[in-house]
Amino acid sequence: MIQNHSFRFMAVSAICLTLFSCKKETPLRELPDLKLPQNRAVSVISIPSVKSGPLGVCYVEVNYADIRNVGKYTLNAGGKRLFDMAIIFAANINRNASTGKAELYFNENVTNVLNNKATYIEPLQAKGIKVTLSVLGNHQGMGISNLANQADAQAFAQQLSNAVTTYGLDGIDFDDEYSDYGVNGTGQPNASSFVYLVTALRELMPTKLITFYYYGPAASRLSFNGVTVGSKIDYSWNAMYGTYSVPNVPGLTASNLGPAAIDIQATSSTIAANLATQTKNNNYGVYLYYNLPNSNVESYLSSISNVLYNTNSLYNSGGEGTTGVNFYQDANYRGATTNGIPKGTYTLTQLESYGFINDWASSVRIPQGWTVTMYADNNSTGTSWVLSSNHPNFTTLSPNANDLVTSVKIQ
């Protein structure tokens, strides 16, 4: 089981071992007997449902894959996004050699994504996809399970919250791996660390996502002084690719758990479809993907989406609005989108094969040099609007065309 799981992290582990050397340091002091705030009901920050079925959550290895690929996949029926959350894999928890405290670290590839948020993060968010940051150990003895006291947990939570604010992220994902607890004189996992950490982070980020990759020492340390991790986080999912296992996180319901996990480049489509069937039949709310490549894998992903959503997945390789016309459910090119529609005259029924929905469109991207005539009624009848370039908001057209388009002509 561990061998199956470790495939995911092979590339990152090699990078971490190359970049960092271990230094001997004085052990951290013993955990003081501090009291946590009482366990309180926390409103789950659920991702808005735009499709019927489980959320698609995808980890992307940004060391060698472009996270923007997450936004290229839509569902053929309705044009909704296959993936609802993209997780940047991964930031690290380093040990500050001077203070012995946890320190958030980004390698050059993660740094590139974060520093260029307008290129990598904001376009996904504009499509309704949440973008979060995964955080895990880095072979230096520090991790989410051995923060020495409440003050240390608060300090590290502040670093995480600052990163979310600075880079416009939607939340933090915790992953308890590769910490090598005990090296550099560091402490072993303790009962309070993870609970302290998620409690502090929830106070700092009341409206952001906090998720847990169910693995490592933290998975067996989910309660302390009457406070549960499940009361502070939003989602948790199975960490063993190619398997079905329900995370045991008290406080989370089925709609916030993902028992199925696949590695897109290692799990067979037959197994992936079987896991999708179990997820759907048992009414769980998340299906976890890992290792989305830069190449087109719509056929593989269709084996899953046909089970979960009763439609195949489509890949848009050329960029929206460059090889065909893309209509969007919301203004400013946000929300669900059609697939690229080529030149032609289309009735409503014909448009529906591209993911179009009647009286639904609010904005459109149009390839350069093309003209789109939109009609309020079927068969190119009724009020019409002629556009020869992208238009971000149909309410500004005269007359208002928002949620009124039924048929189109593209020339």
- Which residues participate in catalysis according to the annotation? 177
Name the pairing type of β-strands 85-95 and 55-61.
Answer: parallel
DSSP H helical ranges for 138-268: 150-167, 193-204
Q: How is residue 361 annotated by DSSP? A: -
Instruction: List Cα–Cα distances, 322 to 122, 199, 295, in angstroms.
Output: 19, 46, 19
Question: What does residue 333 show for φ and ψ, rounded to 5 degrees?
Answer: 60, 40
CA 373, CA 378: separation in Å to the nearest integer?
A: 13
Please state whether 53 falls in left (phi above 0), alpha (psi between -120 and 50) or beta. Answer: left
CA 164, CA 27: separation in Å to the nearest integer?
A: 30
Q: Per-residue b/e over 282-319, b at no fewer than 16 CB within 10 Å? A: eebbbbbbbbbeeeebbebbbbbbbbbbebbbbbbeee
CA 153, CA 199: separation in Å to the nearest integer?
A: 9
- Edge-to-edge strand list for the sheet holding 407-410: 344-346, 407-410, 372-377, 381-387
Tokens of 240: 């063993």
- What's the gap between Cα 40 and its chain centre? 26
Instruction: List Cα–Cα distances, 208 to 44, 173, 201, in angstroms.
Output: 10, 11, 10
Tokens of 58: 């995808």
H-run or E-run covering 410: strand 407-410
Tokens of 294: 């830069």
Q: How is residue 395 annotated by DSSP? A: G
CA 195, CA 398: separation in Å to the nearest integer?
A: 55
